[in-house]
Chains A and B, each alone.
Chain A
Amino acid sequence: MGEAIVITSGKGGVGKTTSSANIGTALAMLGKKVCLLDTDIGLRNLDVVMGLENRIIYDLVDVVEGTCRIAQALVKDKRFEELYFLPAAQTKDKDAVQPEDVKKIVDSLKPDFEYIIIDCPAGIEGGFRNAVAGADKAIVVSTPEMSSVRDADRVIGLLEASDIKNPKLIINRVRPNMMKSGDMMDIDEVCSILAIDLLGVVPDDQQVIKSGNIGEPTVMNPTSNAAVAYRNIARRILGDSVPLMALERKKGVFYKLKKIMGIG
């Protein structure tokens, strides 16, 4: 039986979809059979980030309504044999499915996949409840900003009140130099407020935007710092103990990288 992991944050724009795409791809790179599930009905993005937009025939709502079987709606990734993707509908809204529907779909995917990564929409309403319904575990994404941390805290509270215990934290878009100068909340501060296990720290990286636009998950780019972070996160999900990248060193590489690219 596979494990369903929901990736959520409360606040929008902190990197749920990017994290879903990269963690899913990283797990596939490590040889796992993975299904990505987009539950952001009406505002789907995961297909774009994965570069699979033009291969979509059926979607989540079609499966729920019985228009097609799950197997027909699954889109096979163009890079990895063992990576599949179940898109959300773009023309419907979030009320088109109920939490039980999503749970049923996730449960029927579990026997065929080792990991099911569920991309959650922003907010804590119906879409959130849909996404969380089928999940066994949760990963909360937050940036080191007060507003994002506040929303993450709210979501952790809701997750803990549901059946999902011990959500894990990813701190995304970290800028080590800003943290060092005290202009950005540092890792310890975020962790002390949220008080959950830290799964990984992803540095802010322009490569992420670039690769998002061309529909290629960053994690495949070996020169990207964020890619290394996501690979480490995937290994931690598999149970390896990988130390956090040293921020100082990361900063050095980051600067060098910028210099090489001539944007520093």
Chain B
Amino acid sequence: MTATKEHVTIKGNKDGLIFLFNDHCEFPVLLSELQYKLEKTHQQILSGPTINVHIKLGNRDLNVEQEEKIKKLVSNHGNLLIQSMESNQKDIKEENHDLKIIKGIIRSGQSVHYETPVLFMGDVNPGGLISSTGDIYVMGSLRGLAHAGKTNTGNKEAIIAASYMKPTQLRIANIVSRSPDESADEGAYMEFAFLEDDHMQIGKISELHKVRPDALQF
């Protein structure tokens, strides 16, 4: 292997080793270079105590099979222990914009989670939980708990909208908010909740396009 440009860069820090993978080459190339480096040029790291390895994939997104291949290759060398495998792509991947449309009623004690934005046609009752990695739109009464933007890092751009907004609690990303203890019965217009400077705000649905100009996609 005589690559002119290195696709795999191995760096050390106090935690162990960081493998930086170039995201502008094909996966097999990457894999063979990794193998080459591990077996030929960097044998010295393979002896000695266990070394923690953090893999940074750049903007590359791996499928399960590819991930397995890398894991297998690295763990073949006894003392290397994969601690993490990170991709910048991850957040983009989780922001799946395909709206999922669901019908039903979420009753007390029931919970549903979707990896996409969700349009729920029905009621969410007190004690029920609906969560999504993206936005949640409830065409019905939201009386239970809704958690939008529920990703590992938290998607703070997510919103929760409901025809009748009377939730026990709202969560967007990692921000939790509850209804005021004394809530006046307001008019029956559709509302949505969003985050502004990490504070939960409620607005009329007609304000949505001002708050999230990209929320509506034609």
Chain A contacts to B: CB under 8 angstroms:
146, 150-151, 153-154, 156-158, 160, 192-193, 195
Which positions 99-115 of chain B face chain A at CB distance < 8 Å?
A: 105, 107-110
Secondary structure call for the B interface: loop
B141 contacts the other chain (CB 8 A): yes
Is the pair B107, A153 in contact by a Cβ cutoff of 8 Å?
yes
Q: Find chain A residues with CB under 8 A from B143 CB.
A: 193
- Tell me the bound Cα distance from A158 to B108 in angstroms: 10
Take A192-B141, A193-B143 as given contacts and tell me if A157 and B108 are in contact as well, using a CB distance cutoff of 8 Å.
yes
Binds A, one of B23-31, B40-48, B120-128: B120-128
Take A192-B141, A193-B143 as given contacts and tell me if A154 and B123 are in contact as well, using a CB distance cutoff of 8 Å.
no
Which positions 146-169 of chain B face chain A at CB distance < 8 Å?
A: none
The residue that A151 contacts in the complex, of B108, B110, B123, B128, with Cβ under 8 A, is B108
Closest-by-CB residue of B relative to A193 is B125
- Tell me the bound Cα distance from A157 to B108 in angstroms: 7
11 cross-chain CB contacts under 8 A: A146-B126, A153-B108, A153-B127, A154-B109, A154-B127, A157-B108, A158-B109, A160-B107, A193-B125, A195-B105, A195-B123
Is the pair B123, A157 in contact by a Cβ cutoff of 8 Å?
no
Known contacts A153-B108, A156-B107; 15 further A-B pairs (Cβ under 8 A): A146-B126, A153-B107, A153-B109, A153-B127, A154-B107, A154-B108, A154-B109, A157-B107, A158-B109, A192-B141, A193-B123, A193-B126, A193-B141, A195-B105, A195-B123
Nearest-neighbour CB distance to chain A for B108, whole angstroms, equals 4
- Tell me the bound Cα distance from A153 to B106 in angstroms: 9
Chain B contacts to A: CB under 8 angstroms:
105, 107-110, 123, 125-128, 141, 143
Closest-by-CB residue of B relative to A152 is B108
Closest-by-CB residue of A relative to B123 is A195
Q: Find chain B residues with CB under 8 A from A146 CB.
A: 126
Is the pair A157, B126 in contact by a Cβ cutoff of 8 Å?
no
Nearest-neighbour CB distance to chain A for B179, whole angstroms, equals 14
Is the pair A157, B110 in contact by a Cβ cutoff of 8 Å?
yes
Is the pair B108, A150 in contact by a Cβ cutoff of 8 Å?
yes
Nearest-neighbour CB distance to chain A for B216, whole angstroms, equals 30
- Tell me the bound Cα distance from A98 to B110 in angstroms: 25
Q: Find chain B residues with CB under 8 A from A193 CB.
A: 123, 125-126, 141, 143
Take A150-B126, A193-B125 as given contacts and tell me if A157 and B141 are in contact as well, using a CB distance cutoff of 8 Å.
no
- Tell me the bound Cα distance from A6 to B126 in angstroms: 24
